[in-house]
Structure formats: structure tokens, C-alpha cells
Amino acid sequence: MAASLTTSSFWILTALASGRRHGYEILSETRTASEGRVALKVATLYAALERLEQEGSIRADGEEIVGGRARRYFVMTEQGASRLEAEARAMAQAAGAAQRHLGSRPAFLATAAVAR
């Protein structure tokens, strides 16, 4: 079983799940998809992209010059899609367990939480 994805890797793969993207698009998409909870820094993004590429989860998919600046594009591989799917399943199972446990709290704890 592969190790869990880091938060950065999870959101990068999530951004790439819908198609080819360059670095700035990945930054923007991770912020949007996470509803602002994740705002990757450029250095964090490129370190994670390099690691994901070395692991075989993504691959570079060309470069173009726009406004005098190079844009490197990336796509998710089948291995990356499998890792993201497995991580999403594990997260859903964990969330379900938390919800079940929250639903089984003794009434006095639920009442105390509402009173705050």
C-alpha cells in the first residue's frame, strides 16, 4: 500500500484530475477546490511537482512561452489517478467514522456543544 499523500500532493493531483495545467493554474485551482483552505507557495508547489513526477504520479507535458515567461505543463498519470482515488476513499471512510462517532455522543455532550 502506498503512503498517504501529503496535503499539497493531494490538492495538486486533485487540480490535475480535470486535465493538463501549468503551475499558476495549479496554484489557482488548489485554492479554489479547497475553498481557500490551501494556498500553496510557489516553492512548495514546484518541490511537490518534482516529487510527484519522480514517484510517477504526474509527468511534464510540454512548455510554452507566454508573455516572455515559460509555462511548464503537467498531467496526472494513471498511477497518480489511482493514488488520488485511494486517498479519496480513505478520507471518505475516515470522515464516515468521525460522523458515526459524533452521532453516537451522549446527549449531555451534544447539548453542551450547542450551548457554547
The predicted-structure confidence for 43-97, as pLDDT tens digits, reads as follows 999 999 999 999 999 999 999 998 998 899 999 999 999 999 999 999 999 999 9
Identity at 31, one-letter amino acid code: R
Residue 8 has pLDDT above 70, yes or no: yes
Q: Are 80 and 9 in contact (CB under 8 A)?
A: no
- List the domains of the chain with CATH numbers: 7-115 (1.10.10.10)
Bridge partners for 60 per DSSP: 74
Cell numbers describing residue 45: 508547489
Q: Which residues contact 39 (CB under 8 A, 6 or more apart)?
A: 30, 31
Residue 6 has pLDDT above 90, yes or no: yes
Place 106 in a pLDDT band, splitting at 50, 70 and 90.
confident
Residue 114 has pLDDT above 60, yes or no: no
Q: Which residues contact 41 (CB under 8 A, 6 or more apart)?
A: none
Residue 115 has pLDDT above 60, yes or no: no
Distance CA 73, CA 15 (A): 12
Distance CA 99, CA 114 (A): 16
